[in-house]
Structure 1
Amino acid sequence: MTAAQADLQAEFLEMPEGLRIDRPQVVDGAALWRIAKDSGTLDLNSSYSYLLWCRDFAGTSAVARTADGEPVGFVTGYLRPERPQALLVWQVAVDAAQRGRGLAAALLDGLTLRVAGQSELTSVETTITPGNTASERLFTSYAARHGATVEREVLFDTGHFPDGPHDPEVLYRIGPLSL
């Protein structure tokens, strides 16, 4: 473990036992794609996009690893170009064998602490389809832990999607953050 990884790890008191958080690497792209695919709820992007994400957005994404380095969860995000103080969380997924341990919350907390240490982070944004109660709970509990409010509005309605029926995507704007 590098000194930077040790510093990053020190922030995660809530990380489930036997797991550590890290920045994703290109070699993790296939595992992230598989975890997203197996989630059964995420819109699955191409495997190529996960490889690019691990290369180009590693600084604003996080991966949870077992002791042997195997990815078992991830959160991908980016700083919005027109609002760089806002971290847009693209996807959060946890391997089925690791669910129920608080890993998604630990990843989200850890990622935002890391990003806030490198930039002026004031808010987190994400989109959630209606009825995705796991994501709704994850992000509303995140807001509560960080003393923030949650504003919701439909960002993309069903008519915006060209590839068939798709539930609307509701934008959750969480902030201001108290990190």
Structure 2
Amino acid sequence: MDPLKQGVDVVAGTPGRVIDLIKRGSLSLLEVQFVVLDEADQMFNVGFMDDVETIQGYMSQKHKTIMILATMLNSIIKLTQKFFKNPVNVDLAGDFIQISLFAISSEMREKPAIIGTLITEHAKVGKCIVFTKTKCNADQLASARQRHFSSEALHGDISQKEMKRTLSGVRDGPFNMLVATDDD
């Protein structure tokens, strides 16, 4: 028998896969109590807003939705107003952290200089995260910036031990620049 039909406590899936399971009759969301949309801002940036709305339509009104995101987009504010009663915003950055977001298109060879200028001008006393498209780019940028900033790369090829050391170093100490990618 299909485990989903027997009942499960947690279902994790992309919006498209969840909709597919619902339409095939393999998944019912009527008893869902909690929905977690991880990286909701990124999901909506790539066009999953309609799919999330479709999935919400298959649920009873008695559930809580938690969205985890790095940026509060206008589209997400509209979604919360449409689907949520009394939404609560938990800002983990708080008033102590100022976040600036820059998107600049450039050739790879130009990036270290551009990033250096941005950091010098905008992150004078803080820490920064630079996102790249690939693991190779993350390694190259972290290495190129080592002369001027204490930087480390973070991606799927980094061991668990090294990842913990890097994150601890960014949070508590010596590293002020993290070059990361979600590229597995």
* TM-score for both structures, normalised by structure 1: 0.29
Q: Normalising by structure 2, report the TM-score.
A: 0.28
- Higher helix fraction (1 or 2): 2
Q: In terms of Rg, which structure is larger?
A: 2
